[in-house]
Amino acid sequence: MPFNLSLAEREHAGLKRVLPAIDRVDGRWLHAGGRQYLNFAGNDYLGLSRAPELLAATSQAARDYGAGAVASPLVAGHQTIHRQLEHELCDWLGLEAVMLFSSGFSANQAVIKALAGKEHTLWQDKLNHASLQEAGWLSPARMVRFAHNDMSALEKKLKPAAGLIISEGVFSMDGDTAPWPGLVELARQTGNWLMIDDAHGLGVLGSEGRGTLDEQGLAASDVNIFMGTFGKALGVSGAFVGGSRALIDYLHNLGRSYIYSTHLPPPQAAAVLAAVRLVRSANDRREHLRARVAQFREGVAALPLQLLPSATAIQPLVVGEETATLRLAAALKEQGLWTGAIRPPTVPKGSARLRITLSAAHTRADVQRLLDTLHCVLQA
């Protein structure tokens, strides 16, 4: 047998993954196995996935365009609804041009593999998402990883005009933000390019929810490549890459996961367009989310667990050991609360954690129930 499919070792180490059988997710509720749970594991930070505006846009576009795009974008798939969404994204974020992808994972593959040749270097934060690191390893470029958010470590590793620095807006498993003014400064000084993956900042941070750059007083034009996803705060799925017209024209020609993949289904593009319009004026939802984050952090300070320095919707509680993390998640589940138990290799060894995510859909009472239950199960 050429392949060893045994998972025994992973199971023994508390690292085996099992797909949870969920019936459906409905706003702040998650239904599974005939029970209803409060959901603290989703990425629907603004509670938009069930917004009537998104549902109406989806069904209208299905009637107008059909269920699928039926072709890749360069062949016959790129329709009016796609261009309307691109236009709205440019207007919202101050970008010259954008292109759409069916997932953030494939967007990152397209960009990095299309740009990076063997003469280039990619400098990546050690905590960058798997899709960024994987694209880097698979590209012919030299991959250099720098200590998380450590600008002096990065500075020591940089070479002039040799490639691309990549970091995230909000780190997906830690909830902290990268120091973008420092990254912009280093890229300028050394003549390198800069890319942001703002999957978790978009919609949540900045004025009109423009994301981490705006929050930190920067513009989209301060980076060369602006990548964001539609599957988190926008409540749908898919992604975009934005930048100069020249960059997007280049990726239309050389971004393989764009060229050789069916275009976004029109109902999905319509839902994202409706979501962006909502997000731009969703200050009330962002305010409500900030209040829940503050409430959670205040209530959790007394617990014997490490709370990471995060001001965003992602509030991880570091347990450390894998099986202890699974036990804690199971105890919360028993009490009707669904959280994510995140283990290596998604996070560094010894830092297994509950990834608790808050949403504007949660009420004050929901967060209080989470806090009370955490106090209870940790004392038991």
Ligand X SMILES: *Cc1c(COP(=O)(O)O)cnc(C)c1O
312 contacts ligand X (rule: CB under 6 A): no
Q: Render 325-360 in DSSP notation, one character per residue.
A: HHHHHHHHHHTTEE-EEE-TTSS-TT-EEEEEE--T
- Residues that constitute the known binding site for substrate: 17, 129, 346
Task: Single out the residue of 197, 200, 129 nearest to residue 359, CA to CA.
Answer: 200
User: Would you call 197 a catalytic residue per the annotation?
Assistant: yes
| Shorter beta-carbon distance to ligand X: residue 200 or 285 | 200
Amino acid identity of residue 126, one-letter, is K
What whole-number distance in Å separates Cα of residue 155 and Cα of residue 13? 37
Pick the catalytic residue: 78, 82, 232, 263? 232
User: Would you call 156 a catalytic residue per the annotation?
Assistant: no
User: Quick one: which of 49, 58, 103, 268 contacts ligand X (CB under 6 A)?
Assistant: 103
User: Quick one: which of 37, 40, 105, 226 contacts ligand X (CB under 6 A)?
Assistant: 105
Pick the catalytic residue: 102, 108, 149, 172? 172
User: Would you call 134 a catalytic residue per the annotation?
Assistant: no
Total number of residues binding ligand X (CB under 6 A)? 13
Of the candidate spans 150-158, 196-204, 310-318, 342-350, the one that interacts with ligand X by CB under 6 A turns out to be: 196-204
Identify the H or E element spanning 213.
Answer: helix 212-215
Residues 6+ apart with CB under 8 A from 371: 296, 299, 300
DSSP-derived secondary structure letter, 267: H
What whole-number distance in Å separates Cα of residue 54 and Cα of residue 234? 10
Task: Single out the residue of 104, 105, 140, 106 nearest to residue 122, CA to CA.
Answer: 140
Amino acid identity of residue 206, one-letter, is G
236 contacts ligand X (rule: CB under 6 A): no
| Nearest distance in Å: CB 336, ligand X | 26
User: Would you call 11 a catalytic residue per the annotation?
Assistant: no
203 contacts ligand X (rule: CB under 6 A): no
User: Quick one: which of 231, 262, 299, 373 contacts ligand X (CB under 6 A)?
Assistant: 231
Binding mask 114-143 for ligand X (x = CB under 6 A): ---------------x-x------------
Task: Single out the residue of 219, 253, 263 nearest to residue 76, CA to CA.
Answer: 263
168 contacts ligand X (rule: CB under 6 A): yes
Cα→Cα distances 191→162, 186, 235, Å: 8, 8, 36
User: Quick one: which of 172, 177, 268, 351 contacts ligand X (CB under 6 A)?
Assistant: 172
| Shorter beta-carbon distance to ligand X: residue 79 or 257 | 257
Question: Phi, psi at residue 50, to the nearest 5°?
Answer: -110, 15
User: Would you call 351 a catalytic residue per the annotation?
Assistant: no
| Shorter beta-carbon distance to ligand X: residue 239 or 247 | 239
| Shorter beta-carbon distance to ligand X: residue 182 or 231 | 231
**Are 270 and 83 a contacting pair, CB within 8 Å?**
no
- Going by their DSSP bridges, the two strands 121-125 and 142-146 should be labelled as parallel
User: Would you call 168 a catalytic residue per the annotation?
Assistant: yes
| Nearest distance in Å: CB 229, ligand X | 4
User: Quick one: which of 199, 273, 317, 361 contacts ligand X (CB under 6 A)?
Assistant: 199
User: Would you call 215 a catalytic residue per the annotation?
Assistant: no
Identify the H or E element spanning 113.
Answer: helix 104-115
User: Quick one: which of 200, 292, 343, 353 contacts ligand X (CB under 6 A)?
Assistant: 200
The footprint of ligand X (CB under 6 A) covers 103-105, 129, 131, 168, 172, 197, 199-200, 229, 231, 239
Catalytic residues, by residue number, are 43, 129, 168, 172, 197, 200, 232
